[in-house]
Structure 1
Amino acid sequence: MRCCLGLVLLLGAAMLHVGSGLRCYKCSDDTESCKNVEECTTEDSCLSLSERGGKTIRRCIRYTDCDNTRLSQMFPSVISFTYRCCNSNLCNSGHAVTMATPLLALLGSLLSVWWSWV
């Protein structure tokens, strides 16, 4: 019985984020701190576009728009920029973001399964 419970917990943790949409930071500022989060569509990725010596724009963007030419058209007031598009939750932050909650749930489930076999 404990083995089945551990297996159910393991599968539940593995499917914790299945079905949830991509979430990205949304802001336009010249600081590293961005607290606003928006839900994206299934066709989106997260954008972090940094103007040289200026502000950083973070938001959802259609994945097909993640190229230099298209971004120049979308942001004509930004003359010189670098950008990054990514496809994991909150990946467009100013620094590395770790997804601690799903990882801890998975580790807890694995520990539970291991404990039931011991």
Structure 2
Amino acid sequence: LKTTYHLSLIIDLISSVSSSGSGLRCYKCSDYTGRCQNVQECTYEDSCISLSERGGKTIRQCIRYTDCDNSRLTQMFPAISGFTYRCCSSNLCNSGNAVTTATPALALAGSLLSVWWSWI
């Protein structure tokens, strides 16, 4: 009977944690002002992106970290010819300017880390 009671407590705890909305949150906007206030709850994505085109427009949204490389972003945003971007993985981390770029090796390391983490 004690085992059943403890198992029930564990299931209740897991249910409350998983329903608490603990997913990643990112800013979501596409504008020239840089004053993004819209917040998006990421569903399947594990990162935020801030992508700035040469003309001054900045796009902020949720993204999968495996998509954070030049070739994939060029496919995802075909209307933008030149851009810089920054991917990050903490809540609302895509508020700043996109000044650095993620490398494919870094994206691969992030993918491997997420697979490893899911096995634990």
**TM above 0.5:** yes
**2:45 touches 2:62 (CA, 8 Å); kept in 1?**
no
The answer to whether the aligner puts 1:49 opposite 2:55 as a matched pair is no
The answer to whether the aligner puts 1:62 opposite 2:58 as a matched pair is no
Determine the structure 1 residue equivalent to 2:75. 73
- Structure 2: state its 5+ residue gaps: 1-19, 98-120
For 1:56, the aligned partner's letter is T
Determine the structure 2 residue equivalent to 1:92. 94
Higher relative contact order (CA 8 A, sep 6+): 1
For 1:40, the aligned partner's letter is C
Determine the structure 2 residue equivalent to 1:11. none
Alignment RMSD: 1.9
Aligned counterparts of 2:46 and 2:69: Cα–Cα separation in 1: 13
Residue 44 of structure 1: how far off its partner (Å) = 2.1
Alignment of 1:1-118 (within 5 A): 20-41=22-43, 43-94=45-96
Residue 66 of structure 1: how far off its partner (Å) = 0.6
Residue 52 of structure 1: how far off its partner (Å) = 1.1
Aligned counterparts of 1:43 and 1:83: Cα–Cα separation in 2: 16
**1:49 touches 1:56 (CA, 8 Å); kept in 2?**
yes
Residue 63 of structure 1: how far off its partner (Å) = 1.3
Q: Which protein has the larger Cα radius of gyration, Structure 1 or Structure 2?
A: 1
May I ask how many residue pairs the two structures share in their alignment?
79
Identity of aligned residues (%): 78
**1:45 touches 1:62 (CA, 8 Å); kept in 2?**
yes
Residue 19 of structure 1: how far off its partner (Å) = 6.6
Aligned counterparts of 2:45 and 2:52: Cα–Cα separation in 1: 22
**1:40 touches 1:60 (CA, 8 Å); kept in 2?**
yes
For 1:83, the aligned partner's letter is Y
- Structure 1: state its 5+ residue gaps: 1-17, 96-118
